[in-house]
Amino acid sequence: MLDRDLAELYGVETRAINQAVKRNIERFPSSFMLQLNELEFNNWKSQIVMSNEDKMGLRRLPYAFTEQGVTSHYKYRRLY
């Protein structure tokens, strides 16, 4: 799940998700999340055919969270 999707699920801004991760990095090991590289990001953008709004305006490469990462966010959602 991408950081923007997780933010939408919890009703917060994407930057709040990313700030929570940076402030509590010990709770989000690399097995729980990764940051898309440029190739992965471009492949993801090319998959979106419905709306440019979904892929435009991103300034940073998004984070992707595993099931464990999403669960960690749920447990620590008060950090937002």
pTM of the complete model beyond 0.85:
no
Identify the pLDDT of residue 39: 93
Q: In total, how many domains does the chain have?
A: 1
Please give the share of the chain, as a percent, with pLDDT higher than 90: 12
The pLDDT tens digits of the residues spanning 17-30 come to 888 888 888 877 88
For residue 29, give its domain range: 3-64+72-79
Distance of CA 13 to CAs 6, 7, 16, 18, 20, Å?
9, 6, 5, 9, 11
Statement: residue 59 has pLDDT above 80: no
